[in-house]
Structure 1
Amino acid sequence: MLSLATGLTSLGCDISARLGGGMTAFVIGQMQIHSRDWMAEYFAKVPDLVAAHGGQFLVRGGNPGHLEGDNPVPDAAFILEFPDREHASEFWNSPEFQQLAKLRRTGSALNAILVDKLTGN
């Protein structure tokens, strides 16, 4: 009998990463921008803060285009890569980033998720 963890691993989902293993993690975000007043300060500081937590931007802005679904196309999108979920969470929950997130919220709405890289890739 195949266990759930074995089955998920065969599909590229390493359950051990959720239990403390080290797997590359991505933060994927879609942003609707209502005002640009916050952007200069935010984008002047965020890249260095991401890097200080071991991360890097893979996509920033991204020129989003519609492929499928009913959700509106975001004004901007981003993908951040971190060594693992711990680094990503430490970045996201850091006081420095939360202060910038508060600034960002004055002129935008963000949907962001944290996902793991497929194993073996």
Structure 2
Amino acid sequence: MSAFVIVEIEIHNPELYTSYTALTPETIENHQGKFIVRGGETKVLEGDHSPQRTVILEFPSMEAADSWWHSEAYTKARKIRQQAATTKMTIVQGV
């Protein structure tokens, strides 16, 4: 069953964040993941939710998504992102 990683990002250091975005796609592909949403325009329908940047990734399973997040390659990228941005990230199992 598919799993989705939902990410809300507030970028504080755009230059450093560019380094993160250069590293990340390969780490996702190596775990059979793909981008569903990568930034783009958002529109709030209810509430006061207004993330600066939203990313949604799809993986074949919760295990694949978790394996990606804990992988050595993504850990390197994650450390860069954590310096460049404030992030909320969740894995959600699909239906």
Asked whether the two chains share a fold, i.e. TM above 0.5, the reply is yes
Please name the residue that 1:107 is paired with.
Answer: 84
Paired residue for 1:35?
A: 13
What residue is the counterpart of 2:68 in the other structure? Answer: 91
Unaligned residue ranges in structure 1 (runs of 5+): 1-22
1:44 aligns with 2:25: no
- What is the total number of aligned residue pairs between the two structures? 95
Question: Are 1:25 and 2:3 an aligned pair?
Answer: yes
Higher relative contact order (CA 8 A, sep 6+): 2
CA displacement 1:80-102 (0-9 Å, x = unmatched): 00000111000001121111111
Larger radius of gyration: 1
Tell me the amino acid that sits aligned with residue 57 of structure 1. F
The residue identity in structure 2 corresponding to 1:28 is I
Please tell me whether residue 76 in structure 1 is matched to residue 71 in structure 2: no
| Matches of 1:81 and 1:58, distance apart in 2 | 6
What RMSD over aligned residues (CA atoms) do the two structures have, in Å? 1.2
Q: Which has the higher strand share?
A: 2
TM-score (norm 1): 0.73
1:37 deviation in Å? 2.0
| Structure 2 SS opposite 1:113 | strand
- Report sequence identity in percent: 36
Pairwise CA distance, 1:103: 0.6
Residue 27 of structure 1 aligns to a residue in which SS? strand
SS of the aligned residue for 1:106 comes to helix
